C-alpha cells in the first residue's frame, strides 16, 4: 500500500504544476469520510491534496492592495482554504490550499491573491464547475444523482444548473 501511495503521490506531484499553476503539492492523504481519519487508499472515498503556493512564484508576482492600489504591503500570516475538485477514479478530491495573506501598510486592508483555478462563486475548481455543468446537460433532471455522486450540496448543483439555463444551453 505504501508503494502504491508513493507512486500515486509522485504522479500527482509531477502533474501538479500543470493542473494547479503556481502551487506545489506538499502531501496527500486518503480519508474514509470528509474530514475523517486517514485510511488506506483502498478504503478511501476521499483524496485530500495539500497545496502550497510556490515561493518563487510568490516572490515574482507583483502584489498591490485591491482597495487603494498601494504596493506597500506586508505578509500577514497564512490562509487555508478547502475546495472540491473533479474526482480521480472512485475518489472525491478535496484540495487544501495554503497561501499567504497580506496587509496593506497604507489602508490596513487584509487580502489574499485569487486562486486562478478556483471558481469565483463556488468553493470548487473551475474544472469541477464545468464537470457539473456538463453532467447537468447529459442528465438534466438528476440533480440528486450528481449531488450524491460528488457529495456536494444539492442546492449548489441546482444553482449551477440555473447558471446553465441562463446561458440558454438547455431548454425546459
3-state SS, residue 134: helix
Residue number with CB closer to Zn ion (65 or 156):
65
Least Å distance, CB 104 to Zn ion, is 3
Nearest to 115, CA basis, from 150, 84, 86, 73: 84
- The answer to whether the beta carbons of residues 84 and 123 sit under 8 Å apart is yes
Asked if 110 touches Zn ion (CB under 5 A), the answer is: no
Least Å distance, CB 118 to Zn ion, is 23
Asked if 88 touches Zn ion (CB under 5 A), the answer is: no
| Residue from 49, 104, 124, 136 in contact with Zn ion (CB under 5 A) | 104
| Residue from 57, 107, 116, 139 in contact with Zn ion (CB under 5 A) | 107
What residues contact residue 136 under an 8 Å CB cut-off, 6+ apart? 143, 146, 157, 160, 161, 164, 170
Nearest to 148, CA basis, from 50, 45, 48: 45
Residues 58-77 that bind Zn ion (CB under 5 A): 65, 67-68, 70
Contact region for Zn ion (CB under 5 A) — 81-89, 107-115, 142-150, 160-168? 107-115
3-state SS, residue 139: coil
Q: Which stretches of the chain bind Zn ion, using CB under 5 A?
A: 65, 67-68, 70, 104, 106-107, 109
Amino acid at each position: 500500500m505504501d508503494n502504491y501511495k508513493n507512486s500515486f503521490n509522485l504522479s500527482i506531484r509531477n502533474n501538479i504544476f500543470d493542473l494547479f499553476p503556481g502551487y506545489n503539492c506538499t502531501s496527500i492523504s486518503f480519508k474514509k469520510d470528509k474530514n475523517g481519519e486517514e485510511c488506506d487508499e483502498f478504503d478511501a472515498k476521499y483524496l485530500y491534496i495539500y497545496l502550497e503556493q510556490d515561493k518563487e512564484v510568490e516572490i515574482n508576482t507583483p502584489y498591490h492592495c485591491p482597495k487603494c492600489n498601494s504596493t506597500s504591503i506586508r505578509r500577514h500570516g497564512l490562509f487555508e482554504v478547502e475546495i472540491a475538485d473533479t474526482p480521480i477514479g472512485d475518489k472525491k478530491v478535496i484540495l487544501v490550499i495554503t497561501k499567504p495573506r497580506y496587509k496593506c501598510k497604507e489602508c490596513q486592508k487584509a487580502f489574499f491573491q485569487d486562486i486562478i483555478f478556483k471558481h469565483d462563486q463556488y468553493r470548487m475548481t473551475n474544472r469541477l464547475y464545468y464537470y457539473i455543468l456538463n453532467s447537468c446537460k447529459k442528465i438534466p433532471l438528476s440533480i440528486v444523482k450528481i449531488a450524491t455522486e460528488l457529495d456536494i450540496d444539492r442546492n449548489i448543483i441546482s444553482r449551477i444548473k440555473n447558471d446553465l439555463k441562463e446561458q440558454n444551453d438547455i431548454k425546459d
